[in-house]
Structure 1
Amino acid sequence: MNAARRILRCGLASAAGILLAFPISAIPPNAAAPVPAHAAAAPIPCPAPAVKRSPKPTPPPTDPRDREVGGAALATPGLVTPPGAAAPPAITATSWVVADLDTGQVLGGCGPHEHAVPASTQKLLLAATVLPKLDPKQVITVTRKDLDFEPGSSAVGLLEGGKYPVETLWLGLLLNSGNDAANVLARLGGGDAGVAGTIAAMNEKARELGARQTRAVTPSGLDGPGQYTSAYDLALIARACFAEEAFRRYTLTRQTKIPAQPPRDKSGFQIQNENQLVFRYRGALGGKTGFTTLARHSYVGAAERDGRRLVVTLLGAEARPLRGWQQGAALLDWGFGLPTDASVGNLVDPGAGTATPTPADPEPGGQAAAQVGEPTDDSWVRRPVMLALAAALGVIALVLAALAARRGPRHIGRRRAR
């Protein structure tokens, strides 16, 4: 019996030695052990809604690949910033993105790929889709159906039967967020299919730009069932808009006159840009405001400083303590304070987002790496551990077999009969 115990002790000691030796010897030099997913730091959450809100439309099931468009670090419901970056300003927007219009670098964001309701920032997708198609000098006549939109919502004040240049409609759309102008432009841009054709084209344009989480239901951004976007998608759409010279000119216009429509309107009237960034932020390039009760405040703004052009997009904000454009301005200030090579991802080029995205690895050491908690390839540890375990079990099996042989078959048979 003492011999059997000695065999068991030796076998267990050998098994322990194998288990200890294999993983250590298998670790490559300078390799860091991977952190289990459950041990990764929890994301810093985005601001929660400050007021009770209406239930939002349910977005479709999220394809994990859609959340990684632009880089794996952007696939987080929380905050992502470059390594060593100062904390972004405190705002009420439930999701946001700051990006470089020229390089496409995403400087930071919160819930970049979280679905949200766009409100009138949707008009940027209308502009990206239809602006290149229409002659700005063409004069069109407004129909009764063009004026069929939600009562009390924003409008330029177009008159049925009135004749307006297309350029005036774009100014009315971008300065005054005119839903009447949106309907006219959508009707013209859709050809024989009218507004429905433009909405289909808007969704096709979103896919082309890589805005895989955007679905348009109305051309104006007035709420519709199943209409949604994300802060990242809005940045893609804004980048496409700012690439157009006409858009840059329209969105930076401070005021314009809507032409007279005699006999009902003999003198015309003036409208002013509602985006206060244009008036009160150094280097402002323009943008778009938005609000519905469902969406709350949304905002897109861009500015240029020292040859660097940044864009900010934010969704689901409240107007207190800062209005939407002020929250955008604070985020732009934060972005301009970052080094030019700061990045947590990128705005994909048109067409690139329609294929399976290739995640960009964030630079280690910053919040991007800590918050995302992407799984690592741990096969360099897993394989030797499994080999060691198999060897240890083999040694234990030999010990048990030796004990069984010493005790004899009758002893074993009695134990089985109990």
Structure 2
Amino acid sequence: MPAPKKTVRRSLLVTSAVLSSLALAAPAAVAAPNPSGSPSASPSASPSATPPASMSTVGGARLGRPGTQVNLASGVPVLPKDLSARSWIVADAESGDVLAAHNAHWRLAPASTLKMLFADTLLPRFPRDAKHKVTPSDLAGIGSGSSMVGIKEDETYTVHDLWLGVFLRSGNDAVRVLSAMNEGVENTVEDMNEHAEELQALDTHVVSPDGYDAEGQVSSAYDLTLIARSGMQKKDFREYASTVRAKFPGKTKKGKKGKTVRESFEIQNTNRLLSGDSDVPVYEGIAGVKNGNTTNAGATFTGVAERGGKVLLVTVMNPEKPDHNEVYKETARLFDWGFKAAGKVQPVGELVPPRGAAQASAQPGANPSGEAGGSGDGGSGTAGTGSKPVAGAPTADGSSGIGTALGITGGVLVLLAGGAFLVNRRWPLPDLVRRRTRP
């Protein structure tokens, strides 16, 4: 299907880029591919052992300082002592307050967490029920050892299928097909860089849309958190990011009496805080977002979770501890700290609004609450056939927790679909992404 015109796409970068879970395969699961690329991929350059003395100050001067930034005071819990990540950040997804950070603007290889930017850029462009027949050129240039969902040449897939492949299996093959639909990899990289600039994710430079290690490809914990926040503004993004497992189309074969039959197979999300693992339980209240792992990046992860009316975003980049699932363990500890500290700790910075929204807030008569009516939330459709949302996570009282449907159904959908989570009261939202206030 033809891609939208360039001018239309660029306008969407402004109007849909507002507020705001690649994939790290479990080493114990033999069948799970490396979701961000290849452990044997040649790294562009070894990352420096220490952060720069001076980094970006987007979001506040303290976020540009190396080391841990937190305002500890009476009643504020101490940070976990066993954090080994090169960079991390804990932020309130509603207010945008950064509760604590460590080398927040250190520009590091992002691995497949970069697919969040890919999705936030391209999701609005193609209807989820649109179909595309894969050609050999669509799959050209995929890096050696890349994670793959299993797309086959000459088979037809819906856009919904392809996004499931991107989010659940971090399929670089799915990224390449969607990029081909968007006039190619080069054009998609350009679009992603433009969108990062609009989001004020200025540490980010895209070279490969799938997050595969490439010379000069970088992002930061701060930027990945901005990107996740913007992505979670979109209904489809929330659905895909929180889907635990789904059916994916396989090969078309001849069945009985000569009829053709399309096989399918199950894919599972490799975000271990969402799906669980032998040494990592499903995190209470988790709703995504994305994980990644490459030679150059190490393990990376951005997650969103809700408890007690608070919605937090945590990004962790490259833990130095070699323990299995360490990136998830450190993320969980930071979430635990953040939920205890929220409302008690003074922020050290903020998540800035996209440029378009910041400009809109300066217009005369702008509604500072951002809660006025308008069109939908930037995504379309509902959960597709065969996809299953977040599995229930037990709460402290043993009942099925808020993780059961965060971002998909029930009361938590209100948070993620346009309530407190989506309304940064410091600046208004463009009409396209405001919550509908009436049917």
Indicate how the Cα distance of structure 1 residues 322 and 165 shifts in structure 2: closer, same or farther if over 3 A, else same. Answer: closer
Q: What is the aligned partner in structure 2 of residue 249 from structure 1? A: 239
Q: Is 1:351 the equivalent of 2:355?
A: yes
Matches within 5 A, 1:148-187: 148=140, 149-187=142-180
Deviation at 1:180, TM superposition (A): 0.3
SS of 2:184's partner is helix
Q: State the 1:152 CA deviation.
A: 2.0
Give aligned pairs, total: 298
CA distance in 1, matches of 2:133, 2:55: 41
The answer to whether the Cα contact below 8 Å between 1:260 and 1:267 also exists between their aligned partners in 2 is: yes
Mapped pair 1:137 → 2:137: no
**What residue number does 2:338 align with?**
335
1:110 aligns with 2:102: yes
Counterpart-to-counterpart distance in 1, 2:206 and 2:357? 18
Q: Is the 8 A contact 1:58 1:226 kept in 2?
A: no
Corresponding residue SS for 1:262: strand
Residue 128 of structure 1 pairs with residue 120 of structure 2: yes
Q: 1:273 to 1:73 in 2, by over 3 A?
A: same
Query: CA 1:70 to 1:141, structure 2 compared with 1: closer, same or farther past 3 Å?
Result: same
Contact in 2 for aligned 1:289/1:325 (Cα 8 Å): no
Displacement of 1:145 = 2.6
Determine if contact 2:253/2:263 at 8 Å carries over to the other structure: no
What are the within-5 Å matches in structure 2 for residues 169-248 of structure 1?
A: 169-189=162-182, 193-248=183-238
Contact 2:290 2:302 in 1 (8 A): yes
Q: What percentage of aligned pairs have identical amino acids?
A: 40
8 Å Cα contact 1:212/1:353 also seen in 2: no
> Which AA in structure 2 matches 1:291?
N
Partner residue of 1:21? Answer: none
Give the deviation of 1:102 after TM superposition. 1.3
- Partner residue in 2 for 1:365: none
Q: CA deviation at 1:228?
A: 0.3
Tell me which residue corresponds to 1:74. 63
* Whole-angstrom CA distance in 1 between matches of 2:269 and 2:307: 22
1:97 corresponds to 2:101: no
**Could you tell me the TM-score, scaled by structure 1's length?**
0.67
Instruction: Name the CA distance, whole Å, in 1 between partners of 2:357 and 2:81.
Output: 30
Show CA shifts across 1:342-387 (max 9, x none): 31110000017999xxxxxxxxxxxxxxxxxxxxxxxxxxxxxxxx
CA contact under 8 A between 1:121 and 1:299: conserved in structure 2?
yes
Whether 2:298 is the aligned partner of 1:302: answer no
- Computing the radius of gyration over CA atoms, which structure comes out larger, 1 or 2? 1
Looking at structure 2, the residues matched to 65 and 294 of structure 1 have their Cα atoms a distance apart, in angstroms, of: 22
Deviations 1:230-287 (A, max 9, x none): 1101110010011111111111111111124312984221100111111311101111
State how far apart, in whole Å, the 2-side matches of 1:55 and 1:90 are.
Answer: 29
Distance 1:316 1:91 in 2: 11
User: Residue 100 of structure 1: CA displacement?
Assistant: 1.3
Q: Which runs of 4+ in 1 moved over 3 A?
A: 62-66, 352-355
Q: Deviations over 1:7-31 (max 9, x none)?
A: xxxxxxxxxxxxxxxxxxxxxxxxx
Q: 2:45 aligns with which of 32, 46, 56?
A: 56
In structure 2, the partner of 1:83 is 72
- 2:437 is matched with none
In 1: Cα distance, 2:94 partner to 2:60 partner: 18
Distance of 1:337 and 1:208 partners within structure 2: 33
Contact 1:57 1:227 in 2 (8 A): no
Match of 1:379 in 2: none
Relative distance call for 1:65 and 1:168 in structure 2 (3 A) is same
Q: Secondary structure at the match of 1:267?
A: strand
**Structure 2: distance between partners of 1:212 and 1:90:** 30
Deviation of 1:83 (Å): 2.8
1:289 aligned residue (283, 288, 291): 291
Structure 1 contact 290–299 (Cα < 8 Å) conserved: yes
* TM-score of the superposed pair, with normalisation by structure 2: 0.64
Instruction: Work out whether 1:277 is the aligned partner of 2:280.
Output: no
Unpaired runs of 5+ in structure 2? Answer: 1-41, 255-260, 276-281, 360-439
Asked if the contact 1:312/1:332 (under 8 Å) is kept, the reply is: yes
CA RMSD between the two structures:
2.5
Using the TM superposition, give the Cα deviation of residue 321 of structure 1 relative to its aligned residue in structure 2, in angstroms: 5.7
Q: Aligned with 2:128: secondary structure?
A: coil
Aligned-residue offset at 1:219:
0.6
Q: Is the 8 A contact 1:105 1:346 kept in 2?
A: yes
1:80 is displaced (CA, Å) by 0.5
Report if the CA contact (8 A) 1:289-1:324 is conserved.
no
Structure with a larger share of its residues in helix: 1
- Distance change >3 Å, CA 218–CA 86, structure 1 → 2: same
SS in 2 for 1:83: coil
- The one-letter code matched in structure 1 to 2:117 is L
Note the alpha carbon deviations across 1:26-52, whole angstroms, 9 max, x for none.
xxxxxxxxxxxxxxxxxxxxxxxxxxx
Stretches of structure 1 lacking an aligned partner (at least 5 in a row): 1-52, 356-418
In structure 2, relative to structure 1, the CA distance for the partners of 1:86 and 1:353 (3 Å cut) is: farther
